Amino acid sequence: MTQYKIPMSSPDLTDADRQAVIEVINTPNLSMGKWTPAFEKTFCDLTGAKHAISVNSGTAGLHLCVRAAGIGAGDLVITTPFSFVASSNALLFENAIPVFVDIDPKTGNINPELVADAARNIEKFLPRKGADKSGKLKAILPVDVFGQPADMDAINAVAKEHGLKVIEDSCEALGATYKGKQAGTLGDFGVFAFYPNKQITTGEGGVIITSDDQSAHFMRALRNQGRAPGDTWLQHTHLGYNYRIDEMSAAMGASQMTRLDEILTKRNQVAAWYEARLSEIPGVETPYIESFTTRMSWFVYVIRFDKRINRDEMAKKLDARGIPVRPYFLPIHLQPYMVERFGYKEGDFPVTEDLGQRGLAIPFSGIMTEDQVDYVSNIIREEVVKA
Ligand SMILES: *Cc1c(COP(=O)(O)O)cnc(C)c1O
């Protein structure tokens, strides 16, 4: 195995974050204690959302939003194939159908014109098999890809016209802003995630935000084995899940949330160092930031090679030189279980496939030094010049 000189990603933790966890494990309250609501409050403070509901993964958060939006078997939801699989899987858990539309070639975010076309003429956008034409269109599920918000005004306009719910998958975009508004607040529901490669981490964890009281109460019940307010430990009003976050994770997350601005600023600096070095290399494209992205919340740093450079060969060469890299994203519609169920074929979403073939995430975190960025950038330059 290659010895990597620089990790693909790193959490940005301080002694205060570690101390917060130690304090919890010195008490008997390891779940459902004071840290869960304290962690949630930091999200209400950041976003202005009325409710924040913490869960034990971003995927769990998306699943609860799907339930709260009343999306069920056979229902149709317009979403993007250029994402981490969880955004579509949350629909499949309820046997709802992700109806894919292609993306904007610059940002990789869902193309709002295609969202509008699909809402008007959903039959034309259904997969070859596995979806019933009588399915009802219920929602739009955009993803804030790589930390940049989707064009939410345009998406919300379509939702309003057709009476659809909007679930914003902001799992990659904590703290980003769109026209000055926080990512996650732009639809009916927003979801954040805290796996260790995200902007803040709780090990595993997620948070849902919403300003809808009824949905919030329902999601709190579902998170806690379906116990509604007033239920005892062994009474379950709803079919629920154990999607609770534990107190160690919540305390660690609350501690990091006090430094969110600093964490995002450091990540922005690392991205700027890369941009300065990589944008001048012919054959390498650096990320495109829309004018409506008023704050980017850098999640991963994904470069694109032009068509004459074979991305997979380049990935092997960089790996062999001790630079870990990862193709980002492998399109969802071409994952084996999606092909089997819906009959997707290569060529179905050409922009998604093109970005999927040319994009490569390179080492990125807020604790990278300028020397490390130099080191990675120089090796990329050398290998691209040779290619
Ligand atoms: C990280 C991520 C999620 C949630 O991931 P978990 O590992 O379940 O926390 C969901 N959607 C996207 C787009 C993500 O990047």
Q: Is 190 in the pocket of ligand 1 (CB under 6 A)?
A: no
Distance 19 CA to ligand 1 centre (A): 27
The tens digit of pLDDT for each residue in 336-366 reads: 999 999 999 999 999 999 999 999 999 999 9
pLDDT, residue 1, reads: 57
- Ligand 1: which of 87, 146, 299 to mutate, judged by most atoms within 8 Å of the beta carbon? 87
Mean pLDDT, consecutive 10-residue stretches, the chain (387 aa), reads: 85 98 98 98 98 98 99 98 98 98 98 98 98 96 98 98 98 98 98 98 98 98 97 98 98 98 98 98 98 98 97 98 96 98 98 98 98 98 95
Separation between Cα atoms, residue 209 and residue 333, nearest integer Å: 28
- Ligand 1: which of 110, 171, 328 to mutate, judged by most atoms within 8 Å of the beta carbon? 171
pLDDT, residue 375, reads: 98
pTM for the full predicted model: 0.98
Separation between Cα atoms, residue 102 and residue 114, nearest integer Å: 7
Residue nearest to atom 9 of ligand 1 (CA): 58
The tens digit of pLDDT for each residue in 200-252 reads: 999 999 999 999 999 999 999 999 999 999 999 999 999 999 999 999 999 99
Distance 380 CA to ligand 1 centre (A): 28
pLDDT, residue 5, reads: 86
- Ligand 1: which of 107, 169, 297 to mutate, judged by most atoms within 8 Å of the beta carbon? 169
Helix/strand/coil (H/E/C) assignment for every residue in the chain: CCCCCCCCCCCCCCHHHHHHHHHHHCCCCCECCCHHHHHHHHHHHHHCCCEEEEECCHHHHHHHHHHHCCCCCCCEEEECCCCCCHHHHHHHCCCCEEEECCECCCCCCECHHHHHHHHHCHHHHCCCCCCCCCCCEEEEECECHHHCCCCHHHHHHHHHHHCCEEEEECCCCCCCEECCEECCCCCCEEEEECCCCCCCCCCCCEEEEECCHHHHHHHHHHHECCCCCCCCCCCCCCCCCECCCEHHHHHHHHHHHCCHHHHHHHHHHHHHHHHHHHCCCCCEECCCCCCCEEECCCCCEEEEECCCCCHHHHHHHHHHCCCCCEECCCCHHHCHHHHHHHCCCCCCCHHHHHHHHHEEEECCCCCCCHHHHHHHHHHHHHHHHHC
Separation between Cα atoms, residue 32 and residue 224, nearest integer Å: 10
Q: Is 143 in the pocket of ligand 1 (CB under 6 A)?
A: yes
Distance of CA 202 to the CA centre of its chain: 15
What domains appear along the chain, each with residue ranges and CATH number?
A: 15-257 (3.40.640.10), 260-386 (3.90.1150.10)
pLDDT, residue 3, reads: 76
Distance 83 CA to ligand 1 centre (A): 9
Separation between Cα atoms, residue 203 and residue 369, nearest integer Å: 23
